[in-house]
Amino acid sequence: FTVGIVTNLRLAESFDLRFLPGMSFAERKLVYNIPVVDNNSDNSEYYSIKSTFLDFPLLLKYKSRKMNNQRPYVIGGGAVRVDISKSGQEDLVRLKPFGTYLEAGIGWDSYLQFFRLSTELKFSFGMNNILDAGPKDTQAQVYSAAFSKLTSNIVTLCFHFE
């Protein structure tokens, strides 16, 4: 779930530069072949990490011509996300709070009587390793040592009201 604002700069008839800062709430699930023993949850085969992010995407939007108050578009660019939820001291797997992403997506603008509704499907591909070595004394290292690298890949369905 994401809440944000839309900042749009029209570069040409078919091109817009968009800055969409916001705050998102997400959950990551790490799946293991062994039961995960954690004080905060039951024994299961996955470990859940809940996060709150500040998102800062900068995207280029290419729009087609308007047809009957409808307009398809493609979007692409980069984003920076900062996890502000916690320090990670209590997590079995500690993640770095800073991540960079390449983003690409498709969307559809619908021009209604009082506003524009944009439906967008966006894919974000993590560019950096977010696995943090973490404090050795507070973590069970078997859960962190299972990974040599972690990246986040995100699929987002967005509804923009402009």
**Is the CB of residue 159 less than 8 Å from the CB of residue 117?**
yes
pLDDT, residue 72, reads 97
pLDDT, residue 108, reads 96
pLDDT, residue 75, reads 97
Give the pLDDT of the chain (162 residues) as one tens digit per residue: 788 999 999 999 999 999 999 999 888 888 887 777 765 556 677 788 888 999 999 999 999 999 999 999 999 999 999 999 865 555 677 788 899 999 999 999 999 999 999 999 999 999 999 888 765 665 566 777 777 888 888 899 999 998
pLDDT, residue 27, reads 84
Written as six digits, the tokens of 111 are 């021009």
Share of the chain above pLDDT 70, in %: 87
pLDDT, residue 43, reads 60
User: Whole-angstrom Cα distance, residue 5 to residue 117?
Assistant: 14
